[in-house]
Amino acid sequence: MSDTGPMPPRTSDDPVLPETLSRPLKEAAPWIRFLAILMFVGVGFMILGSFFFFALALPAVSELAGDAGLTPLYGAGMGVLYIMLAVVMFFPALYCYRYGDALKNWGNNGSVSELATAFRNNKAFWKFYGIVTLIYLGLLALGLVAGLVAVLVTLAL
């Protein structure tokens, strides 16, 4: 992934991908890296957003925010939530960037190990998103059940 010197020459053990497979991968590499950089920018904006919410927890600001019905606890809670979301968003961005970078390196030198690294990071990217999606769906179902219970309790009163 870093330039450590000239790459060793290809050996007969290095398989050559047909142009119909290698060209789309080589062409996708800059776009993958571009999207990963945008994801990193999104992480940065999430962190900046958390500072805004943490500011709502400050005494001077919380008096002004209190007029809008916001409490200092709301600001601190949202700030922590934004930091947590930024941490969650960081890892797919990192996997995506590593994927694009390894594809670019493979396109430059044809190293099978770079291609393997690219696909490992691609797998990690999709595995991470799959796990996050399952967690999200679980929380969504939990929220739905909690909402139904709250409605039933309210109707019973």
| pLDDT tier, 144 (very low <50, low <70, confident <90, very high otherwise) | very high
The tokens for 14 are 């290095």
Average pLDDT over residues 101-114: 92
Percent of the chain with pLDDT over 70: 82
Is the pLDDT score of 64 beyond 70?
A: no
| pLDDT tier, 4 (very low <50, low <70, confident <90, very high otherwise) | low
Query: Of residues 120 and 70, which shows the higher confidence score?
Result: 120
- pLDDT of res. 12: 46
Question: Is residue 79 exposed (0-12), middle (13-18) or buried (19+ Cβ within 10 Å)?
Answer: buried
Domain ranges in the chain are 21-129
Is the pLDDT score of 67 beyond 90?
A: no
Q: Rounded to whole angstroms, how far apart are CA atoms 154 and 142? A: 18
* DSSP assigned state of 69: T
Average pLDDT over residues 38-57: 92
Contact 84, 49 (CB under 8 A): no
Percent of the chain with pLDDT over 90: 64
Average pLDDT over residues 107-124: 93
